Structure formats: structure tokens, C-alpha cells
């Protein structure tokens, strides 16, 4: 009898320990993790974890933690919104290659950080290198302005105690860049949750996220592709000489336009992935015999590749300056609305951004032959 009592007491202690550790584990869970976050819950045997840009959006092993369909749908939206924020926090993906000449006494090329489009780990965000960002998320203004000034402050030599001569900032063309709002909606049907058809939710939200970044890349690379024939750079014997000519002409054109650019700035080359090998080959070339210059002599530390541009030319650009992009609102989920007509819940997503190339002289479209 004593043996049974001892065994019973040990069993009760074991059950109590399991409950205590379970509660402690629940409180130890990251409070910031949204429901269905892959980092918060292990994969379930019936769960389906979709992969977007190399990571899971949902883990439906946590579906049992929500009592009603409305709670489940709200949690799904919260997790999708958190996933978008995770993508924004990721740095741009770099593939660094050291491109230096074998002879240290000759001029070597600068290291190249090649930013490339990856459908596996990150969305196409290479355009961010070309455009300086105006963070308008907390601003009450619906636009920002680009002022084209062809002159500025003039510095004069002064003697001790002499009055400083003030310059008048000349008036220039003012370009107003207003936000563009983009919106889309998805419908989570009741039967998807009723019959555990979670793969349909995965496919739906994967499409939302991919479509958002694809649309954004279309706009910013489209600004580059839409520049007129005035930025065209003719082919000069080789890709090396063409890049050199493009960079030199950009500096000359920008200074003629009143931009105070440094003498040896960093340039960016943007091209279709099919041209990546050709561009990197040109950047790798070093000085050859007889002192003949066979090298790109300007700083080109970054190559951006994107399938948004055609493979019949490439762009040499001076980043920043008059290249601007405004970010008013990241992709945001609105409150769900019941859709009885389709027996589901409608979830509307919105976001706001826009950009401008305020000075075409910062870019050259280079021919291949």
C-alpha cells in the first residue's frame, strides 16, 4: 500500500512539474512574436509553412490556440504584416568580389560589391542604392519638393572684421513629387479554415508580398528606363572605354547643370543579369603592357542587376543627389471586413511611395556595340 502511495505522490509531483514548466515556457516566449510566426512555434504535422524569399511566413501549428475563425484571420493578418516588416529590416544582399590587378605597382581596380536580384532570399531592392530616401512616414505632407538650383553661395576673401557678403540663392525649377497610393485586397474564405486548407492562405499571401515588391521595383527601375535619348552613351571601342567615357561625361554634364559633385565619386552600374558577366569582366581588367590603359579608371564599387531592365544596354549612374524616393507608408493591412457574399473576410492592403530622377545628367545609357 505504501508503495502505491509513494508512486501516486511521485506521479502528482511529475504532473505539477510539467504544468509549471509549460506555463513558464509560455511566458518565456517572445511577446513580440506574432501568432503563427515560424520563430514562435515548431512545425506541425498538419501545418504548411510557405517559403517566401527563403523564409517561412506562417506556422499553422498554432491554429489551435484561437477559438474562432475571426481570431484566426486576425492573427494571420498580424503575422503577414510582421513578415513585411522583417523584410524591410533586412540589409541589401551583397556578393562582394575583390577585383585587383596582379601587379601592385600598377593601378588596381576598386573592390566591387555586386547587388543582385535574388528570388530566394530578398526582394529586388537594388534601386535603393540609386535613390536617396526621404522618410515621409511621420510627415503630414503629401509631397516633397526637388529644387533645381543652377547657382548658390559665393565665397569671397575677407579681411579681419570685414562684413560678409551674402549671396542670393537663385530661383530654379521646382518639382513637386506627390505620393502614389497602391492598394489590393484578399479574401480569406471560411471554408479554408473549416477544412484546414492552409496552403491556399499561404499561396494567397505569398502572392500579395511578391506582387508588392515587384510593383515597387517596376516603378523605380521604370524611372531609369524612361529617361530620354539625351542620356545615351555611344559604344567606344570596348566596354572599358565606354564606361570611362560615360563616367567622365556624367561629371561634366552634372557640373554644367550646377551640381557640386566631387571629382572622384562612386558610380553605380545597373544592368540586366544577362550582362553581369560582361560588366564584371570589364571591371576586372587591369593595365597591360606598354602602359596602355585597359582599365576602368573611375570608382565603380557597385553593380546592380535586375530583370526589370532590358539586356540591350546598361546604365552608369551617379547615385543620390537629385535621385530621390519618398516612403509615406509601408505595406499595411487594414481592418478586416466581413464579406457575406463570398462567405469570407476581405483584407485590404495599402502602401504609399514615389520617386523622381530630378537630374537626367546623373545617368548614361551605354550601348553594347
Taking only the tens place, the pLDDT of each residue in 210-237 is 888 889 999 999 999 999 999 999 999 9
pLDDT value of position 145: 78
Average pLDDT value for residue range 153-165: 68
pLDDT value of position 136: 87
pLDDT class for 314, splitting at 50, 70, 90?
Answer: very high
pLDDT class for 66, splitting at 50, 70, 90?
Answer: confident
- Where are the domain boundaries for CATH 3.90.1690 in the chain? 94-367
Place of cell 511521485: 10
C-alpha–C-alpha distance, residues 224 and 357, integer Å: 8
For 197, what's the count of Cα atoms within 13 Å in the CB-facing half-sphere? 10
- Maximum average pLDDT range among 48-57, 125-134, 137-146: 125-134
Domain 94-367 in CATH 3.90.1690: yes
pLDDT class for 59, splitting at 50, 70, 90?
Answer: confident
DSSP alpha helix (H) spans, 148-292: 190-194, 198-225, 239-256, 276-284
pLDDT at 104 over 90: no
pLDDT value of position 43: 29
- Maximum average pLDDT range among 138-142, 317-321, 328-332: 317-321
pLDDT value of position 293: 60
> What is the dihedral angle through the alpha carbons of 218, 222, 225, 231, rounded to the nearest 10 degrees?
-150
C-alpha–C-alpha distance, residues 267 and 269, integer Å: 7
pLDDT value of position 308: 94
Identify the three-state secondary structure at position 233. Answer: strand
Amino acid at each position: 500500500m505504501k508503495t502505491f502511495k509513494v508512486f501516486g505522490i511521485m506521479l502528482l509531483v511529475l504532473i505539477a512539474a510539467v504544468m509549471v514548466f509549460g506555463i513558464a515556457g509560455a511566458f518565456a516566449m517572445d511577446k513580440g512574436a506574432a501568432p503563427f510566426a515560424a520563430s514562435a512555434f515548431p512545425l506541425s504535422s498538419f501545418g504548411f509553412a510557405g517559403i517566401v524569399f527563403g523564409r517561412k511566413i506562417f506556422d499553422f501549428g498554432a491554429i489551435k490556440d484561437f477559438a474562432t475563425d475571426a481570431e484566426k484571420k486576425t492573427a494571420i493578418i498580424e503575422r503577414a504584416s510582421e513578415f513585411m516588416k522583417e523584410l524591410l529590416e533586412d540589409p541589401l544582399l551583397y556578393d562582394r568580389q575583390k577585383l585587383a590587378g596582379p601587379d601592385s605597382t600598377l593601378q588596381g581596380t576598386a573592390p566591387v560589391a555586386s547587388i543582385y536580384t535574388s528570388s530566394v532570399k530578398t526582394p529586388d531592392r537594388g534601386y535603393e542604392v540609386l535613390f536617396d530616401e526621404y522618410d515621409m512616414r511621420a510627415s503630414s505632407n503629401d509631397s516633397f519638393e526637388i529644387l533645381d538650383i543652377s547657382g548658390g553661395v559665393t565665397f569671397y576673401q575677407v579681411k579681419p572684421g570685414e562684413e560678409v557678403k551674402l549671396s542670393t540663392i537663385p530661383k530654379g525649377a521646382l518639382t513637386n513629387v506627390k505620393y502614389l497610393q497602391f492598394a489590393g485586397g484578399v479574401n480569406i474564405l471560411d471554408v479554408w479554415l473549416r477544412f484546414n486548407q492552409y496552403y491556399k492562405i499561404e499561396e494567397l499571401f505569398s502572392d500579395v508580398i511578391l506582387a508588392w515588391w515587384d510593383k515597387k521595383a517596376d516603378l523605380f527601375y521604370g524611372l531609369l528606363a524612361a529617361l530620354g535619348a539625351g542620356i545615351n552613351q555611344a559604344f567606344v571601342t570596348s566596354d572599358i572605354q565606354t564606361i570611362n567615357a560615360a563616367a567622365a561625361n556624367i561629371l561634366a554634364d552634372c557640373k554644367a547643370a550646377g551640381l557640386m559633385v566631387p571629382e572622384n565619386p562612386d558610380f553605380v552600374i545597373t544592368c540586366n543579369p544577362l550582362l553581369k558577366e560582361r560588366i564584371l569582366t570589364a571591371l576586372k581588367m587591369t593595365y597591360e603592357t606598354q602602359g596602355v590603359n585597359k582599365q576602368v579608371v573611375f570608382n565603380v564599387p557597385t553593380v546592380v542587376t535586375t530583370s526589370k531592365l532590358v539586356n540591350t544596354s546598361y546604365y552608369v549612374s551617379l547615385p543620390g543627389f537629385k535621385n530621390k524616393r519618398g516612403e509615406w507608408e509601408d505595406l499595411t493591412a487594414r481592418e478586416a471586413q466581413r464579406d457575406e457574399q463570398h462567405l469570407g473576410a476581405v483584407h485590404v492592403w495599402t502602401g504609399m511611395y514615389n520617386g523622381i530622377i530630378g537630374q537626367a545628367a546623373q545617368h548614361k545609357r551605354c550601348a553594347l556595340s
